[in-house]
Chains A and B, each alone.
Chain A
Amino acid sequence: MRDAKLELVGATVRFGGRAVLDSVGLDVAEHEIVSVLGPSGSGKSTLLRVVAGLQPLDEGRVFLDGRDLHGVPAHKRGVGLMFQDHQLFPQRDVGGNVAFGLRMHGESKGQQAVRVRELLDLVGLPGARERAVASLSGGEQQRVALARALAPRPRLLMLDEPLGQLDRSLRERLVVELRQLFGELGTTVLAVTHDQGEAFALADRVVVMRDGRIAQSGTPLEVWQRPADAFVARFLGFENVTAATVSGEAADTPWGKLPVPSDARQGEVDLLVRPAGVRLVPAAEGLRCTVAARTFRGTHVAVRLQPEGAPWLEAACALRDAPETGDEVGVAFDAAEIVVLGGARGA
C-alpha cells in the first residue's frame, strides 16, 4: 500500500515523437491542494487528462489510493474533473447538470434531490436548480461546474484553469472561497493554472512545469523565495535574471560586482536580483542608469533602469521616491534580495 492519495511514476505521453509529459513523478497527499503551474504547452492539462483516464500513458503508472489505474476507463476512476470552460450540458438545467454524476452512479431520485440541494447551497446558488444553463453568468457557471464535479464525492478533484475566464476581481474572491471550501470538505485537489497568483492563493503546494517536466515543487513561499532556476524565476515575473560568476561573497555580472550571501554556490550560476534589492542612490554613486520607464503598480512604482552597456534592471520604489523618466540615477544592490539560482546555468 502506498501512502500518497495520488501518485504518478515516470508518466510519459508523446504526441508524434514529442514528449508532452516527460517522465513526470508527482505525489499528492490526502487532503492536500496541489497547483500545477506552467505556461501553455508545458503539459499541465495533459497531466490532468492522464489522471482522469482521458489520455493513455505511453510509459509510467498512475496510482490512486495505492491502486494502479492502468486500463481503468475514465468513467470508473471515481475522480472529478472541472473543465476549463466548464462544459456544462446545454440541454439540461442546473439541477440536471449537478445530478448527472449521481445518476450515472445509480443513486435514487430522492438521494439525488437531497444532494443537489446540498451542493447548490454549498456553492452559493440556492434555488438555482431549475435555471437554464444558458442563463448563467460566467461565475455562476463556474459554481455549477464545481457542484457537478463534487456531487459524486470524487476521491480526487481536478481543476483545469478553474477561474481562467472570469474577470479579475471575481477570480480573486473565488479563489479564497475555493480554498476555504476545500479545507472544510477535506477534498484532495489537483489544479492546473497558468496564473501564479491563483496558484499561490489556492495551493498548499505548487508544482511548476516546463516542457513536460517538473521544474520545481514546493510550498508557495519556498517557490516564491527560492525559484529553482532562471526559467521558474522568469515565469514568476522576475525580470532581473542574469548569468554570473560567483567567487566568495561577490558575483561578477553585466551590472558589475554584486554582493551575494556568504553561503552562495560558487562558480558559473544564474542570479536573481529581486526588484526590492535594486536601491536607488545619487547618480554619482553606484551603477549609473537612465530611467527608461515607470509603471504605477498600486503599492509601489516599477522603474525600468537602463545602465550603459548592460541589460536593463527593474527596481521597485515607493511612490514618493520614484524618479522621473529620463532622470540619471545610481544603483546599489542589497545582498539579502539576491538569490543564486539552482539548476544548470542558462536554463
Chain B
Amino acid sequence: MAVPVAFFGLFFAYPVAAITARGLKIDGVWRFGRIGDVLAQSDIRHVLWFTTWQALASTALTLLIALPGAYVFARFDFRGKQVLRAVVTVPFVLPTVVVGTAFLALLGRGGLLDELWGVRLDTTVWAILLAHVFFNYAVVVRTVGGLWSQLDPRQEEAARVLGASRFAAWRRVTLPALGPAVAAAALMVFLFTFTSFGVVQILGGPTFSTLEVEIYRQTSEIFDLSTAAVLTLVQFVAVGAILAVHAWTVRRRETALRLVDASVTARRPRGGGQWALLVAVLATIAVLLVLPLAVLVERSLDAPGFGYYKALTSDEGGIFLVPPIEAVGNSLQYALAATAIALLIGGLAAAALTRRDAGRLVRGFDALLMLPLGVSAVTVGFGFLIALDKPPLDLRSTWILVPLAQALVGVPFVVRTMLPVLRAVDGRLREAAAVLGASPWRVWREVDLPMVRRALLIAAGFAFAVSLGEFGATVFIARPDNPTLPVAVARLLGRAGELNYGQAMALSTILMVVCAVALLVLERLRTDRTGEF
C-alpha cells in the first residue's frame, strides 16, 4: 500500500499541486481572485461552454449509435462475432492522435469525402463528435453489452407471461436492470470526451478548443501559467464530480442482478426486423469504425513504392534531430518501461485493495486511482517539468520521466482489470495452502499467481497500449531527439507539405498496427470475468 501511495503522491499529486501553485501564487501570495478573473473572460467561458456541450453531445451521439450495437452483440449469434468484437475494441486503445489523423484523412482537406463529393467536415464540430463516437463505441458495447448478455432472458419471458407486451417487458424489466450500466458507460464517455485533447487538437482547428487544449495552449504557447492553473483546477473539480457519480453508479450496478452465462443468452437473429437491425449495426461499424482506419492506411500508401514509409527513415525533413522511424523504437521502449511500472504499482495497489481488512481509507484510494484518467495530462506533463527538476528528484534529463508519466495512465487500467479477479480468489484457498505447509510467498506463487496470470497479461496489454498512445503528458516531456510515435505524428501534422502529411499517415498506421496487434493478442487471452471497462 505504501508504495502506490508514495508513487501517486510523488508523481501525480506533487507535480499537479506544484503547477497549480506556480500559477496561483504570485510573489509568495495566493491569488485566489485569479479564479474569478479568469472565469469572467468571455473566451474562457466560451471554452468551458464548448467543452461541456461537445462532451454532452458526444455522449448522447455515442449512446444513440452504440446501444443498438450493444444489443446486437449481447443477444445475437452470428458468424464472425468474436472477430468483430475485437475490431470494435481496437479504436478504444488507439492513440487519440491516430484517431484525429484518421478522421482528417476521411473528412479533411484533400480527404476521401473531399475528393468524392467536395464535402469537408474538419472545420465543423461534426468531425470531433464523430471521432469521439469512433473512440468510445467500444466503451458502450463492452460495458452495457457485457451486462446485457448476462441478463437472464427468462426474466423478460416471465413478464411476458404475466401479460406485458414485448416493449413493456423490455421497458419494465430489462431497461431498469441495464440502467446503471448505461449510466456508467455514459459517464465514462463523458469523462473521456470532456478531457479530450489529441482529437480536438488535430480536428478542432482554431475555432474549437476544449479545456485540455486550452490548458496546453495557455502553458506552451501563451505562457500564461495562472490561467492554465485555474483551468486545471476547474477541470479537476469537474472530473472529481464525474468520478464520484461514476463510483456510485458502479456500486449500484453490482446490486443483486441475477446473471447467467453469456453464451446461453445469444441466438441467431429471427425475422426481417432482427436481420435489418444486424445489418444496420454492421454497416455502422463499417462506415464509422473501419472506414477511417482504412482511409488512413490508404493515404499512407499514396506515394509510389511506400514512399512515405521510406521517408520516415531519413532525417532530411529537419523536424527532428533523428529520422522519424526512430520514434517507433523510442515508443516501444518507453511503453515497455511504463507497462512494467504500471504493473508493479497497479498490482501492489490491487493486492492492497483486495485484503479483507482493507478499511475505508484504502477503499477511498480505489476511487483516487481513477483520477489520472481524467486529470489534465497536459498539466501532469508540465508539472513533471517544473516539479521534478530539482535534486534530490532531478529526473528532467533522464529517460525514466516519460514512462513514469505514461504509467500514471496505465495504473487505473491495471487495477480495474486485476481487482475483480483477485477478489474472486477464495481466501480459504490460501489458508488451505498455508496449512499444507506453504509459506506466504509460496501461497502467492502457488495459488494467486496461476489464477491472476491471464488478468495480469491483459492488464499489461492495456497498460502497454495506453502508454503507447499517451500524448498529452508526453508531448511536454519527450525530448526532441527522442520523440514518441504520437508526438512525432503531431509534429509532422503541424508542418505544411505533402511529404509531412504522408509521413504522419504512415507513422499513424504503424502505431495503429502495433496497438491493434497488442489488443488482438489480448482478445485471445480475455477471460470471462471481464474488468470494469
Residues on A lying within 8 angstroms of B by beta carbon are 52-54, 73-81, 83, 85, 87, 89, 91, 100-101, 104-105, 148-149, 152
Query: Are A83 and B442 CB-contacts (below 8 A) given A52-B435, A91-B450, A101-B436?
Result: no
18 further contact pairs, Cβ within 8 A, besides A54-B435, A75-B443, A79-B435: A54-B434, A73-B439, A74-B434, A75-B434, A80-B435, A81-B432, A83-B431, A83-B432, A85-B428, A87-B426, A87-B428, A87-B429, A89-B429, A100-B433, A100-B438, A101-B436, A104-B436, A152-B437
Q: Do residues B429 and A75 form an inter-chain contact, with CB atoms below 8 A? A: no
Separation of A144 and B451 alpha carbons in the complex (Å): 21
User: Nearest chain A CB to B75's CB is how many angstroms away?
Assistant: 29
B447 at the interface (CB under 8 A from A): yes
What residues of chain A lie closer than 8 Å to B446, measured between beta carbons? 89, 100
Q: Which of B435, B442, B443, B447 contacts A81 (CB 8 A)?
A: B435
Please indicate the chain B residues that have their CB under 8 angstroms from the CB of A53 in the complex: 434-435
State A149–B433 Cα separation when bound (angstroms): 10
Within 8 Å CB of A80, what residues of B? Answer: 435-436
Count chain B CB atoms within 10 A of each CB in A73, A91, A148, A152 and give the residue with the most.
Answer: A91
Q: Could you say which of A54, A85, A91, A152 contacts B436, with CB atoms under 8 Å apart?
A: A152
Q: Are B437 and A87 in contact (CB under 8 A)?
A: no
The answer to whether A87 and B432 touch across the interface, beta carbons within 8 angstroms, is yes
Check if A74 sits within 8 Å of B435, measured CB to CB.
yes
Are A104 and B429 in contact, CB atoms less than 8 angstroms apart?
Answer: no
Interface residues of B in 388-444 (CB under 8 A from A): 426, 428-429, 431-440, 442-443
- B450 CB, min distance to chain A CBs, angstroms: 5
B435:A100 contact, CB within 8 angstroms: no
Could you pull out 22 A-B pairs where Cβ atoms are within 8 angstroms? A52-B435, A54-B431, A54-B434, A74-B431, A75-B435, A75-B436, A75-B439, A75-B443, A77-B435, A81-B435, A83-B432, A87-B426, A87-B428, A87-B429, A87-B431, A89-B446, A100-B433, A100-B438, A100-B446, A104-B433, A104-B436, A149-B436
With the chains together, A149 CA to B436 CA distance in Å?
A: 7
* Contact A148 B435, CB 8 Å, known A83-B428, A87-B426: no
> Hey, which chain A residues are within 8 Å of B440, CB to CB?
73, 75
A-B contacts counted at CB < 8 A amount to 63
Query: Which residue in A74, A91, A100, A105 is a CB contact (below 8 Å) of B451?
Result: A91
Q: Say which residue of B426, B428, B437, B447 sits within 8 Å of A75 (CB atoms).
A: B437
A-B pairs, top 10 by smallest CB distance, nearest first, are: A104-B437, A101-B436, A74-B434, A87-B432, A81-B435, A91-B450, A104-B438, A75-B434, A75-B437, A87-B428
Contacts of B433 in A (CB 8 A): 89, 100, 104
Task: Give B contacts to A, CB under 8 Å.
Answer: 426, 428-429, 431-440, 442-443, 446-447, 450-451
In the bound complex, residues from chain A placing their C-beta under 8 Å from that of B438 are: 75, 100, 104
Q: How far is the CB of B213 from chain A (nearest CB, A)?
A: 48
Q: Is there an interface contact between B431 and A100, defined as CB atoms closer than 8 Å?
A: no
Q: How distant is the Cα of A54 from the Cα of B433 in the complex, in angstroms?
A: 11
Measured in the bound complex, the distance between the Cα atoms of B440 and A73 in whole Å is 10
Cα A94 to Cα B451 in complex, Å, equals 17
User: Nearest Cβ in chain A — how far from B306, in angstroms?
Assistant: 47
Minimum CB–CB distance from B442 to chain A (whole Å) comes to: 7
Kindly list chain B residues whose C-beta atoms are within 8 Å of the C-beta of A148. 436
User: Which chain B residues lie closer than 8 Å to A91 at the CB level?
Assistant: 450-451
Closest to B435 in A: A81
The answer to whether A89 touches B435 (Cβ under 8 A) is no
Task: Report the Cα distance A83→B436, complex, angstroms.
Answer: 12
Beta-carbon nearest neighbor of B426 in chain A: A87
Q: Is the CB of B432 within 8 A of A104?
A: no
- In the bound complex, residues from chain B placing their C-beta under 8 Å from that of A52 are 431, 435
A148 CB, nearest partner CB in chain B, Å? 7
Looking at the assembled complex, report how far the CB atom of B169 sits from the nearest CB atom of chain A, in whole angstroms: 36
Known contacts A81-B432, A83-B432; is-contact A89 B447 (Cβ 8 Å) = yes
Cβ–Cβ < 8 Å partners of A101 in chain B = 436-437
* Closest partner residue, chain A, to B432 (CB atom): A87
Closest to B429 in A: A87
Q: A54-B431, A83-B428 are in contact. Are A100 and B436 (CB under 8 A)?
A: yes
Give the complex CA separation of A78 and B436 in angstroms: 8
* Residue among B431, B439, B447 facing the most chain A CB atoms (10 A cut-off): B431
A104, B432: Cα distance in complex, Å: 12
Complex-state Cα separation, A105 to B426, whole angstroms: 23
Residues of A contacting B437 in the complex (Cβ-Cβ under 8 angstroms): 75-76, 78, 101, 104-105, 152
Complex interface: chain B residues within 8 A of A152 (CB)? 436-437
Closest beta carbon of chain A to B532's beta carbon, Å: 24
The smallest beta-carbon distance between B212 and chain A, in angstroms, is: 44
CB proximity of B435 to chain A, nearest CB, Å: 4
List the A side residues contacting B442 at CB < 8 Å: 75, 104
Q: How far, in angstroms, from A83 to B437 measured CA to CA in the complex?
A: 15
- Complex alpha-carbon distance, A246 and B376, angstroms: 84
Residue of A nearest to B451 (CB): A91
Interface centre among A79, A83, A105 (most CB of B within 10 A): A83
- Chain B residues lying within 8 Å of A87, measured Cβ to Cβ, are 426, 428-429, 431-432
Q: Which residue of B lies closest to A92 (CB)?
A: B450
Residue of B whose beta carbon sits closest to that of A148: B436
CB distance from B294 to the nearest CB of A (A): 42
Q: What residue of chain A has the Cβ atom nearest to residue B442's Cβ?
A: A104
For B428, what are the chain A residues with a Cβ–Cβ distance below 8 Å? Answer: 83, 85, 87
Chain B residue numbers with a CB within 8 Å of A76 are 437
* Residues of chain A contacted by B451 (CB below 8 angstroms): 91
CB of A187, distance to nearest CB on chain B (Å): 15
Nearest CB in chain A: distance from B446 CB, A: 8
Q: Which among B431, B436, B438 has the greatest number of chain A C-beta atoms within 10 A?
A: B436
Q: Which A residues are in CB contact (< 8 Å) with B439?
A: 73, 75
Q: For B429, what are the chain A residues with a Cβ–Cβ distance below 8 Å?
A: 87, 89
Q: Please measure, in the bound complex, the distance between the C-alpha atom of A74 and the C-alpha atom of B439, giving whole angstroms.
A: 8
Shortest Cβ distance from B437 into A: residue: A104
Please give the distance in Å from B447's CB to the nearest CB on chain A: 7
Question: What is the CB-to-nearest-CB distance from A155 to chain B, in angstroms, rounded to a whole number?
Answer: 12
| B426, B432, B439 pick with most chain A CB within 10 angstroms | B432
Chain B residue contacts of A104, Cβ below 8 A: 433, 436-438, 442
Chain B nearest Cβ from A34, distance in angstroms: 18
A298 vs B426: C-alpha distance when bound (angstroms) = 41
Residue from B435, B436, B442 whose CB has the most chain A CB atoms within 10 Å: B435
B-side contacts of A74, CB under 8 Å: 431, 434-435
For B447, the chain A residues whose CB sits under 8 A away are 89
Report the nearest B residue to A87, measured CB to CB: B432
Find chain B residues with CB under 8 A from A149 CB. 436
- CB nearest neighbor in B for A80: B435
Q: In the complex, A105→B451 CA distance in Å?
A: 23
How many angstroms between the C-alpha atoms of A148 and B436 in the bound complex? Answer: 8
| Bound-state Cα–Cα, A328 to B191, Å | 78
With a cutoff of 8 Å between Cβ atoms, the chain B residues found around residue A79 in the complex are 435
B438, closest chain A residue (CB): A104
Instruction: Enumerate chain B residues within 8 angstroms of A83, measured Cβ to Cβ.
Output: 428, 431-432
**Nearest-CB distance from A171 to chain B (Å)?**
22
Closest CB of chain A to B434's CB: distance in Å? 4
What distance in Å separates the Cβ of A278 from its nearest Cβ neighbour in chain B?
45
- CB A100 to nearest CB in B, in angstroms, measures 5
A83 and B450 alpha carbons, distance in the complex (Å): 21
Smallest CB gap from A77: residue in B: B435
State the CA gap A79–B435 with chains docked (Å).
7
B281 nearest CB across to chain A (Å): 36
- Chain B residue nearest in CB terms to A104: B437
A192 to chain B, nearest CB (A): 15
Q: Bound state CA distance, A149 and B429, in angstroms?
A: 13
